[in-house]
Amino acid sequence: MKYSIYKIVITAIIGLCVIAPIATFATYYTNSQDEKSTNLEINILQSIDDDNMYKNIKSLSKKPRVAGTEQEDEAVGYIKKQFDSYGYKTEVQTFTFNDYTAPHTIELTLDGFIHIVDPSALEYSVSGHVVGEVIPAGLGKVKELQHLDLAGKIVLIKRGDISFKEKMLNAAKKGAAGVIFYNNAPGDIMGSLGEANDSFIPAVLLTQAEGEKLVKQVKNNPDTQATLNIEGAKSITNISHNVIATKKPSNQNNSKIKAKHDIIVISAHHDSVAGAPGANDNASGTAMTLELARIFKTIPSDTEIRFITFGAEELGLLGSNHYVDQLSANEIGRIKANFNLDMVGSKDAGKLTLETIDDKPNLVTELTQAASLKLNGKPTPVNQGDRSDHVPFAKAGIPAALFIHNPAEPWYHKPEDKIDKISKAKLQDVAEIVTLAIMNQTRVEHYAK
Ligand code: BES
Ligand code: ZN
């Protein structure tokens, strides 16, 4: 821990007290007020416990914590227990999401088709074994399918103009048994049907070259039959959770303290990707959110502070989207800032950076830069970034920023993202900056006599 700047300030103040003449009483008074708040800040910053964060990261990162798995549930239980132990009444908010397992077998065989066909499945394609005549159907728009007899047939459709999903539903409506999509541009392609749907029929995706050869073949041999076999694709409704601990404004009965209606959200995602134990991504942010909750529990504040760990960030910011979606307009108006902590403790990553979705400063970056300037002599830089849970807040009009070290470590989303890659000094540094930033926005001690 380094308090060099504080030390200089205090030494200067003491020096001033000794040598200043009585005529400068007003200056004295101001300085002694500053000194008081500075001492308070020091006490609080000193109580941030990097060992506690490290211990929590270690416990959380024994295994990957993929959303919707038992390991996520274990992590959620662990986080709730910690919040509860700090004196919070913790809410576990549950939400559902569509969990798709890609097929293990994708086969397409075509009678008389001499070229090698290497199909890829589309995300959300269903399993099935279908045999049928191949019918080219242009771009698969309703008008193009109108006069075609597609019942029990396998429809050959080119990418473009409308989504794969729309094309698929148009074909399914006409009673088709399967769909072969092909690209409208050269190169490899990963396709998605966007979401699961009970009306989907088995489908594969070919390259443009393969698709065009197939169209030619079918035109020359109109009875070409295809067999489409997809096995192992599964779509289930799964469950993930957000964990929420709320600190109400303090001393609400004390008439000297005017509680604001403001809310500040401190957040981090607790899930990880498959195969990575996610010590830095993002047991680090989770442990820091817990530590900030522990610290702030005893600090009087005029603002509500919500400490939230989100589920299913790695699946597309699902937990934070769910959270922001279920807020009332009134709550959205009251949330003045989102401090989102993601990958905040890697030994092997670069310097602390703030990321906003529009690259612009906002209340979060301003408070943070004032705090980092005071603590480290340099304001934390601001860059553009939209790869974490600050995004739904920002899109709802709430000042939001991601705290991350840039560049990221080589272990990002890898099995090596383990506790041995965590730096206590980095954790302590970020936690101090966030604590000071939030204290400066929510402090109430100046209300007291
Ligand atoms: N912690 C990362 C985001 C990140 C990593 C930001 C490296 C900046 C540098 C996050 O958990 C993640 O992996 N996000 C996804 C996107 C998300 C919408 C699924 C990503 O960046 O691929
Ligand atoms: Zn992350």
Domain residue ranges of the chain, discontinuous segments joined by +: 1-46, 49-99+237-447, 103-232
Structure letter (DSSP) for residue 291:
H
Residue 406, beta-bridge partner list: 351
Q: Which atom of ligand 1 is nearest to the CA of 406?
A: 9
- Side-chain-side CA neighbours of residue 445 (13 Å): 12
pLDDT value for 26: 26
Ligand nearest to the CA of 404: 1
- CATH number at 49-99+237-447: 3.40.630.10
For residue 343, the CA-to-ligand 1 centroid distance in Å is 9
Residue 116 has a pLDDT of 62
Alpha carbon of residue 109 to chain centroid: 41
Instruction: Say if ligand 1 is within 6 A of residue 314 CB.
Output: yes
Structure tokens at 177: 């048994």
Cα atoms in the Cβ-side hemisphere of radius 13 Å centred on 291: 30
Asked whether 349 lines ligand 1 (CB < 6 A), one says no
CA pair distance 412, 249, nearest whole angstrom: 37
CA of 65 to the centre of ligand 2 (A): 12
The span from the first CA to the last CA of the chain, in angstroms, equals 32
Cα angle vertex 409, ends 408, 415, to 5°? 125
* Pick among 3.40.50.2300, 3.50.30.30, 3.40.50.620, 3.10.129.10: CATH of 103-232: 3.50.30.30
Specify the 3-state DSSP secondary structure of 359: coil
DSSP strand pairing (234-247 vs 225-231)? unpaired
Pairwise CA distance, residues 268 & 278, whole Å:
13
The response to whether residue 388 sits with its C-beta less than 6 Å from ligand 1 reads yes
pTM as predicted: 0.83
CA proximity to 96, closest of 196, 168, 201: 196
Instruction: Compute the residue count for the chain.
Output: 449
The CB of 404 under 6 Å from ligand 1? The reply is yes
Of the candidates 230, 228, 218, 189, the one whose C-alpha atom is nearest the C-alpha of residue 206 is 189
Q: What is the CA radius of gyration of the chain?
A: 29
Token pair 């913790």: residue: 90
Q: How far is the CA of 388 from the centre of ligand 2 (A)?
A: 6
**Model pLDDT, residue 30:** 30
Per-residue pLDDT of the chain (449 residues; tens, 9 = 90+): 444 444 344 444 444 433 333 332 222 223 344 445 578 889 999 999 999 999 999 999 999 999 999 999 999 999 999 999 999 999 999 999 999 999 999 999 988 776 667 788 899 999 999 999 999 999 999 999 999 999 999 999 999 999 999 999 999 999 999 999 999 999 888 899 999 999 999 999 999 999 999 999 999 988 899 999 999 999 999 999 999 999 999 865 665 667 789 999 999 999 999 999 999 999 999 999 999 999 999 998 999 999 999 999 999 999 999 999 999 999 999 999 999 999 999 999 999 999 999 999 999 999 999 999 999 999 999 999 999 999 999 999 999 999 999 999 999 999 999 999 999 999 999 999 999 999 999 977 655 44
217's tokens: 């073949």
Ligand 1 contact, 97 CB (< 6 A): no
Q: Per DSSP, what are the bridge partners of residue 239? A: 96
* Ligand 1 touching residue 141 (CB < 6 A): no
Ligand whose nearest atom lies closest to the CA of 316: 1
Task: Tell whether the torsion through CA atoms of 423, 428, 433 and 434 is positive or negative.
Answer: positive
Q: Is the CB–ligand 1 distance for residue 354 below 6 Å?
A: no
Q: Token pair for residue 65?
A: 């914590």
